[in-house]
Amino acid sequence: MKLDVLSTSLPGVHLVRSPRFADHRGFFCETYARPDFLAAGLENVFVQDNQSSSLLSGTIRGLHFQIPPFAQAKLVRVLRGRILDVVVDLRRSSSAYGRHVAIELSAESGDQLFVPAGFAHGFCTLVDNTEVFYKVDAVYSAPHDRGLSWADPVLNVDWPVSESNAVLSDKDKALPLLNALPPYFE
């Protein structure tokens, strides 16, 4: 398999495209083959798979991250529907600190987004009944689970839903602003 790994405006965050082989039945693609990812310079060892299902368009999940020693890199893809995927650089020493990238991912495109540790990640569903699947390279650890307010005006994310219409968990409604975060990632 020949991966197409495209850089984004944030260092280390990559759009990953795997070739699809289509015929009258549909298509086939390899979404993850470790040797191909290694050849592309993506050396993370994934240890857990996660899947979310969001019933309504305008559902926001995030912006989430885990702090060391359970900081996670993620490989995100959409199984059904479409999302606006948002990644925020939380590395204080980075020239991109506090900046974000927003990329539409869909089941139709099959594109994946690689998010290294040190970034907050979240998404907004663009259609009803959206399913998102992602691999992580560290297991979930509740004591190390953190987040950042999706609606922080400093981030200047152009979300496709208003605050009053966003579907959020109680946890995500209470996440802090960027300037209130300790320096988790130097």
Residue 69 lies in a domain: yes
Residue 39 lies in a domain: no
Q: Mark whether 97 is an active-site residue.
A: no
Q: 99-128, pLDDT tens digit by residue?
A: 999 999 999 999 999 999 999 999 999 999
**pLDDT cut 90: percent of the chain above it:** 98
Q: Mark whether 144 is an active-site residue.
A: no
CA angle at 131 for the pair 128 and 133, rounded to the nearest 5°: 160
**Structural domains counted in the chain:** 1
CA distance 16 to 36: 11
Residue 100 lies in a domain: yes
Q: What integer pLDDT is reported at residue 145 of this predicted model?
A: 98
Structure confidence at residue 2 as a pLDDT band (50, 70, 90): confident
Residue 1 has pLDDT above 70, yes or no: no
Residue 36 lies in a domain: no
Residue 84 lies in a domain: yes
Residue 26 lies in a domain: no
> Measured between alpha carbons, how far is residue 117 from residues 55, 82, 139, 174 in Å?
28, 24, 13, 22
Residue 24 lies in a domain: no
Catalytic residue among 14, 64, 100, 121: 64
* CATH, residue 12: 2.60.120.10
Domain that holds residue 119: 4-18+46-180
Residue 29 lies in a domain: no
Q: 84-97, pLDDT tens digit by residue?
A: 999 999 999 999 99
Catalytic residue among 14, 100, 121, 134: 134
